[in-house]
Amino acid sequence: MFSISQAPAPAYQNLTPAQFAEGLRQSGAVLLDVRRPDGFTAGHLPSAVNIDVTAPDFGLRLVALAKNRPTNMYCRSGARSARAAEQLTKAGFSHISNLLGGVLGWPEPLTTK
């Protein structure tokens, strides 16, 4: 007997830029930029909080976030934020979204403020 195994679906959602923008309008939504601080300083989405996924204190900084709030994250291309989304899923976060293509695919200007 054969069994067909499929990889389990990620517990987070990969969203297109339009879908991601819609998610940012949710009440209480958190926006995380998981790039290194120099990338964040060069330009980020308005109202984003920078928590570098490669920093040694990444896990500790996640503890300060509410696990039940919609958490939207992005990086430059979407790869690092997908890894960060997996970490948040394992940490018990329930509503996580990842921006497909990262800021490279974001259609609006980034801010440096």
Q: CA distances (Å), 82 to each of 11, 13, 18, 78, 86, in order?
A: 11, 9, 18, 6, 6
Largest CA distance in the chain: 60
Catalytic status, residue 75:
yes
Q: How many CB atoms lie within 10 A of CB 31?
A: 20
Point out the catalytic residue in the list 75, 88, 96, 103.
Answer: 75
Single-letter residue type at 64: A
Burial of 48 (0-12, 13-18, 19+ CB in 10 A): buried
Active site residue ranges = 75
